[in-house]
A and B are shown apart, each in its own frame.
Chain A
Amino acid sequence: MTPGRHAAPYLVGGAFLASLVAAWEIAGRSADSALAAVLPPPSQFLSVLLDSGFRIGLGSQAVPLAQSILSTLLRVFGGMAIAFVAAVATGALLSLSRFATWCFSPLLYILAPIAPIAWIPTAIVVFGISNVTAVFIVFMGVYFILTIATLAEIRRIPEEYLTVAANLGARPGERWLRVVLPAILPGVFTLLRTNFIAAWMAVLVAEMVGLRDGLGAIIMMGRNLFNSDLIMLGMAVIGIAGFLVDRLLMLIGTRLIWWRV
């Protein structure tokens, strides 16, 4: 394959995006455009950022944009990492006992559809306005679905793998570590990536309604100040950061957990 053909999707995608932004910029630039008030063009909302030296907020409360991005990302990654490990562990424990699976399955299926956003009021009451709240909300948004996925992946493991491992002398614990775990990891991780968007949204909502920092808080601040530049800036940063994280997860999926069972 030629490198040119390999790059084509990226070039076309990038060019299309660039022309959309350019059209937006031109339409928003023209004098007394109604569009500029609601959807300020990039030149307008980006200059706000430059003027304030990449800090957002009022006076002494202003925080660097990088710090907002970082705290949102840490919340999402923290919650997702804890949920991932916990879900694999729960799924594994449940798979050891059919009785336990029967007991807990209904609970999982009842809790899984509750949107993480619905946990926000409870979480704020229990944990207060803190990072724990945000991490908890991400956790609730991902944990149940991943536990269900882990159980499904364990059921999907070809029996021959376990028979072969046992036949070659592997004890139950070793079979779990050397066969079950690697066999389920790719599938569960793919679902984690799919659910990243949900986790990302949950944190943003939590930041908008409760926590006072992070990317969601920028949007809320813009709303309170009737500052559409700030709103647009927040949206652009959220979109780009989310895109980059998804790419990162995809890279982990294709480079580290690449095999298919």
Chain B
Amino acid sequence: MSAPLATAPAAPAPVPAPPIFKVDRLTVAFPERGGTEVAPIVDFDLVVEAGRITCLLGPSGCGKTTLLKALGGFVVGRDTGGVVYRGRYLTEPTPDIVMIFQEHNLFPWLSVRGNVGFGLRHSPGEPAARRARLERMLGTVGLAEAAGRYPHQLSGGMRQRAAIARALVTEPKVLLLDEPFSALDVTLRRRMHALLRAVWTETRTTMVMVTHSVEEAIVVGHRVVVLGGRPASVLLDVPTEGAAYRDRYDPAFLELQKRIESLIE
């Protein structure tokens, strides 16, 4: 693996961040077989601040992925409420908000460079500037040397890095991540956490990440929102800025981890 990235420096001085998403009485229901319906999210409220990493944590089936999709406009709730993005209700996906899915992340017929550059033609800037951005982004995620390779020739970690690069190279306002590292082993996951923090330090992109790993949520996020129950409700909403939460052996880290784990179980 190339280009080990340093962990991000200590969090910046806490300035009150403006909200970018306002989840306002969101209700999402899916029809089920037999005419009934299942509603993982009912009358849900949440505010997500701009320029920070918010982690959504919770047991399987608690509606966190549905919530994430709603933030991206991939799922639209009942018209009794919804997701307000920069003052407007979201009704469809927008290139402003890019989502990284768990699976089928890369196009198998394109090289890493082709994949990362997929959305580039729709992003602002002169062609030369866009190409330079592509090369810089490949370097940022440590894939400059592997740029000519195809997805089936990559390791799981490289694939996820390529997916992150593809999403970020178009300079979206928001990056949504749905359990992006769940298929990776522990060592690789930790490297990806450092990478994500480093990318954030460089771009200050608003990120919302869904995960079921407590450690991952605390280490990566500036804020951890624990969801639970059916329909989903916020069990805990805690800021995780500061150096203590970047070190998974720190007593404060372990304390919080224990607290969250007891909530989820």
Which A positions have Cβ atoms within 8 angstroms of B? Answer: 158, 160-161, 163-170, 178-179, 182-183, 259-261
Residue B170 interfacial (CB < 8 Å): yes
| Shortest CB distance B177–A (Å) | 13
**How far is A169 from B123 in the complex, measured between Cα atoms in Å?**
8
A to B CB contacts below 8 Å, 24 in the list: A158-B104, A160-B103, A160-B105, A161-B107, A164-B99, A164-B104, A167-B72, A167-B93, A167-B119, A168-B95, A168-B118, A168-B119, A168-B122, A168-B167, A169-B122, A170-B118, A170-B119, A170-B122, A178-B118, A182-B109, A259-B109, A259-B150, A260-B108, A260-B152
Which residue in A160, A169, A259 is a CB contact (below 8 Å) of B170?
Answer: A169
| Majority secondary structure of chain B interface residues (helix, strand, loop or mixed) | loop
Number of A-B contacts (CB under 8 A): 54
Whether the Cβ atoms of A182 and B166 lie closer than 8 Å is no
| Shortest CB distance A94–B (Å) | 23
Which A-chain residue is minimally distant from B117 (CB atoms)?
Answer: A168
**How far is A260 from B95 in the complex, measured between Cα atoms in Å?**
27
Task: Give the contacts of B88-123 with A (CB-CB under 8 A).
Answer: 93, 95, 97-99, 101, 103-105, 107-109, 118-119, 121-123
Query: For residue B150, which residues in chain A have a CB less than 8 angstroms away from its CB?
Result: 259
Taking residues whose C-beta sits less than 8 angstroms from the other chain, chain B's interface range is: 20 to 34
Query: For residue B152, which residues in chain A have a CB less than 8 angstroms away from its CB?
Result: 259-260
Whether the Cβ atoms of B107 and A182 lie closer than 8 Å is yes
Which B-chain residue is minimally distant from A182 (CB atoms)?
Answer: B109
| Majority secondary structure of chain A interface residues (helix, strand, loop or mixed) | helix
Which residue in A158, A167, A182, A259 is a CB contact (below 8 Å) of B99?
Answer: A167
Which B-chain residue is minimally distant from A260 (CB atoms)?
Answer: B108
Query: For residue A166, which residues in chain B have a CB less than 8 angstroms away from its CB?
Result: 93
Which residue in B98, B104, B107, B121 is a CB contact (below 8 Å) of A167?
Answer: B98
| Shortest CB distance B7–A (Å) | 29
The verdict on A165 contacting B118 (CB below 8 Å), with A182-B109, A259-B150 known, is yes
- Of residues B98, B101, B107, B109, which shows the largest number of chain A Cβ atoms within 10 Å of its Cβ? B109
**How far is A166 from B122 in the complex, measured between Cα atoms in Å?**
11
Residue B74 interfacial (CB < 8 Å): yes
Whether the Cβ atoms of B95 and A169 lie closer than 8 Å is yes
Which A-chain residue is minimally distant from B101 (CB atoms)?
Answer: A160
Nearest first, the 5 closest Cβ-Cβ pairs linking A and B are A168-B119, A169-B122, A160-B104, A169-B95, A158-B104
Which A-chain residue is minimally distant from B103 (CB atoms)?
Answer: A160
Whether the Cβ atoms of A167 and B108 lie closer than 8 Å is no
The verdict on A168 contacting B104 (CB below 8 Å), with A259-B109, A259-B150 known, is no
Query: For residue A260, which residues in chain B have a CB less than 8 angstroms away from its CB?
Result: 108, 152
Whether the Cβ atoms of B119 and A163 lie closer than 8 Å is no
Whether the Cβ atoms of B119 and A261 lie closer than 8 Å is no
**How far is A158 from B118 in the complex, measured between Cα atoms in Å?**
17
Which B-chain residue is minimally distant from A166 (CB atoms)?
Answer: B93
| Shortest CB distance B103–A (Å) | 6
Which residue in B105, B109, B122, B123 is a CB contact (below 8 Å) of A164?
Answer: B105
**How far is A183 from B104 in the complex, measured between Cα atoms in Å?**
12
Which A-chain residue is minimally distant from B114 (CB atoms)?
Answer: A178
> Please, what's the 1-or-0 string for B169-185, where 1 marks a CB less than 8 Å from any CB in chain A?
01000000000000000
